[in-house]
């Protein structure tokens, strides 16, 4: 049986990418990492891809700040197809994908977000949860649609907000949960695809 081909897009640190690649290496995630692509030239996520010998590329995003230029987005789709990607996993990718990519990979693009969606979409969701006085927050893996941090939910994990939490300590605890949840959710999708 053909393993699910994974494409990972990220703009930064890449800790979720690392967790996914470690899951694949450990054999708990029955997927093949086909390519890692970043819109940031020196993003650590590209270094992580190289560490795991996964093909990787910097994709210059063009003139916009929050999305890719249309011709760049077409190039992204071409790269993902050429790499034989079945499922696209966003891992800290800081640009909104438009219809070019969404239509090329219908219900095949997923994201992880550091809150219990639909609560606290947008930036620094852990700070939003703290400011709102939540006692529980968490992380969500969801399908990507045309809205930001929106789309059908695949899996969620709760994380308690502790009385003495700072933004940093809460974020760190949510990231630990993310690193378990994201590979597990992708493994679940792999099982559904092959089953």
**Residues that are catalytic:** 113
SS3 at position 62: coil
Evaluated on CA atoms 5, 152, 9, 177, the torsion sign reads negative
Size of the site for ligand GRF (CB under 6 A): 14
SS3 at position 117: coil
Residue whose entry in the numeric block shows the structure tokens 């994709």: 59
Burial of residue 53 (number of CB atoms within 10 Å: 0-12, 13-18, 19+): exposed
For ligand GRF, which stretch binds (CB under 6 A), given 5-13, 61-69, 79-87, 157-165? 5-13
Q: Which of 4, 6, 14, 40 binds ligand GRF (CB under 6 A)?
A: 14
Residue whose entry in the numeric block shows the structure tokens 């703009």: 11
Q: Nearer to ligand GRF by C-beta: 78 or 98?
A: 98
Q: Nearer to ligand GRF by C-beta: 13 or 32?
A: 13
Q: Which of 10, 23, 138, 151 binds ligand GRF (CB under 6 A)?
A: 10
Q: Which of 7, 114, 151, 183 binds ligand GRF (CB under 6 A)?
A: 114
φ/ψ bin of 62: left (φ > 0), alpha (ψ from -120 to 50), beta (otherwise): left
Beta carbon of residue 93, minimum distance to ligand GRF (angstroms, whole number):
7
Q: Nearer to ligand GRF by C-beta: 73 or 178?
A: 178
Nearest to 91 by CA among 25, 26, 35: 35
Convert residues 123-162 into a mask of x (bound to ligand GRF by CB under 6 A) and - (unbound). Answer: ----------------------------------------
């Amino acid at each position: 049986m053909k393993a699910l081909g994974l494409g990972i897009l990220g703009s930064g640190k890449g800790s979720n990418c690392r967790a996914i690649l470690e899951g694949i290496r450990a054999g708990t995630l029955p997927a093949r990492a086909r390519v890692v692509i970043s819109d940031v030239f020196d993003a650590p996520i590209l270094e992580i891809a190289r560490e795991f010998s996964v093909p990787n590329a910097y994709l210059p995003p063009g003139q916009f700040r929050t999305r890719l230029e249309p011709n760049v987005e077409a190039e992204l789709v071409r790269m993902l197809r050429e790499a034989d990607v079945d499922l696209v996993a966003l891992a800290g990718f800081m640009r909104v994908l438009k219809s070019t990519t969404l239509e090329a990979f219908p219900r095949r693009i997923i994201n992880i977000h550091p809150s219990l969606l639909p609560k606290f979409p947008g930036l620094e969701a852990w700070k939003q949860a703290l400011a709102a006085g939540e006692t529980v927050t968490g992380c969500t893996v969801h399908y990507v649609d045309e809205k930001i941090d929106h789309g059908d939910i695949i899996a969620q994990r709760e994380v308690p907000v502790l009385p003495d939490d700072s933004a940093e300590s809460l974020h760190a605890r949510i990231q630990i949960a993310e690193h378990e949840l994201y590979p597990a959710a992708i493994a679940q999708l792999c099982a559904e695809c092959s089953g």
